């Protein structure tokens, strides 16, 4: 089914839902989903609406200008229009850890993620065979302190060549430059453990074990120039007990990480995430 998705934000005021519904009804739109939220502190209205296109009376290229003229202009709306076709293109960046990569590729192979994956980029060779087994091209681009700029140039060239829409960092253990991040605003999704800022460094699970934590979590977020501080898309937690070993904490944590990341990807693909300032509105 071909469908359109309209994402709206504007100052809160009377009549918004009625006018959006009237617009879709006028042009014979069969509404599939409508969700809205009002941030009372900011006086801001947010809305997501999707509808079938087969019977819609406007061509795809006519919808935005007509909506601007008939509805958006009157309410001071900012809006974006999306379609569920063609499939968006997602690049995966990975280092050595495989749990998130396996989960994404498995869900993609089974049809759970409606997306094309034209390439996987890694700064190590370790996961080449895994990626090739799923029939996806693998590109090894080593990254060092000395060649980081050159490596990112190669990465960006590949992303442009394959017309990639967004990037997923599936435990990619490199910090992206400002230039790279600005090339994909709110289109780079990262996953990390939710021990931050308590247990930083390369061995967070070991430090958490020493501290005796009772909850392990993971956070998926959009990447911004401030490290690990971008708008949060999804978070999950799992409870642990005193008898769990370090290796068990790692396993539990990695299970949470991969599920959290895949949920965030799904929300992004379904256009259910609306970044606003440094947080997100999630239309479940």
Asked if pLDDT for residue 200 goes beyond 80, the answer is: no
- pLDDT at res. 208: 86
Question: Of 68, 83, 98, which closes a domain?
Answer: 83
10/95 same-domain check? no
Segment 149-153 shows an average pLDDT of 97
Question: Of 83, 105, 125, which closes a domain?
Answer: 83
Interval 84-129: pLDDT, tens? 999 999 999 999 999 999 999 999 999 999 999 999 999 999 999 9
161/277 same-domain check? yes
238/155 same-domain check? yes
70/94 same-domain check? no
Based on the residue annotation, tell me whether 228 is a catalytic residue of this protein.
yes
- Say what the pTM is: 0.95
110/233 same-domain check? yes
100/229 same-domain check? yes
166/223 same-domain check? yes
**CATH classification at residue 23:** 3.30.70.260
- pLDDT at res. 206: 86
In sequence order, which residues have a C-beta less than 8 Å from that of residue 246 and are 6 or more positions away? 205, 206, 209
181/235 same-domain check? yes
- pLDDT at res. 228: 84
Segment 168-177 shows an average pLDDT of 96
Q: Containing domain of residue 265, as a range?
A: 89-282
CA distance 58 to 43: 32
79/112 same-domain check? no
What percent of the chain shows pLDDT beyond 70? 98
Residue with tokens 């958490």: 208
Burial string for 125-154 (b: 16+ CB within 10 Å, else e) reads: eebeebbeebebebeebebeeeeeeebbee
- pLDDT at res. 36: 97
- The mean pLDDT value of the chain amounts to 95
If one counts the domains in the chain, the total is: 2
Catalytic residue (one of 12, 39, 126, 228):
228
CA distance 59 to 149: 43
């Amino acid at each position: 089914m071909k469908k359109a998705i309209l994402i709206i934000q504007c100052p809160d005021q009377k009549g918004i839902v009625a006018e959006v519904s009237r617009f879709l009804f006028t042009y014979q739109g069969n509404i599939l989903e409508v969700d809205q939220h009002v941030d009372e502190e900011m006086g801001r209205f947010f809305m997501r609406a999707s509808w079938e296109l087969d019977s819609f009376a406007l061509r795809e290229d006519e919808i935005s200008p007509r909506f601007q003229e008939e509805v958006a202009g009157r309410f001071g709306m900012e809006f974006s229009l999306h379609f569920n076709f063609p499939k968006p293109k997602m690049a995966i960046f990975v280092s050595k850890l495989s749990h998130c990569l396996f989960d994404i590729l498995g869900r993609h192979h089974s049809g759970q993620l409606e997306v094309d994956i034209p390439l996987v980029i890694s700064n190590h060779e370790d996961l080449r065979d895994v990626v090739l087994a799923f029939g996806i091209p693998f590109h090894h681009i080593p990254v060092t302190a000395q060649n980081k700029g050159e490596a990112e140039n190669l990465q960006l060239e590949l992303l442009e060549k394959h017309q990639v829409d967004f990037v997923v960092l599936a435990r990619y253990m490199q910090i992206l430059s400002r230039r790279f991040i600005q090339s994909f605003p709110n289109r780079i999704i990262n996953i990390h453990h939710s021990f931050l800022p308590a247990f930083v460094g390369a061995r967070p699970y070991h430090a958490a074990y020493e501290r005796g934590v009772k909850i392990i979590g993971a956070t998926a977020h959009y990447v911004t120039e401030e490290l690990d501080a971008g708008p949060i898309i999804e978070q999950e937690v799992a409870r642990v007990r005193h008898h769990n070993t370090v290796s068990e904490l790692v396993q539990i944590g990695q299970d949470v990480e991969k599920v959290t990341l895949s949920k965030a990807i799904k929300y992004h693909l379904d256009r259910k995430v609306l970044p606003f300032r440094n947080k997100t509105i999630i239309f479940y």
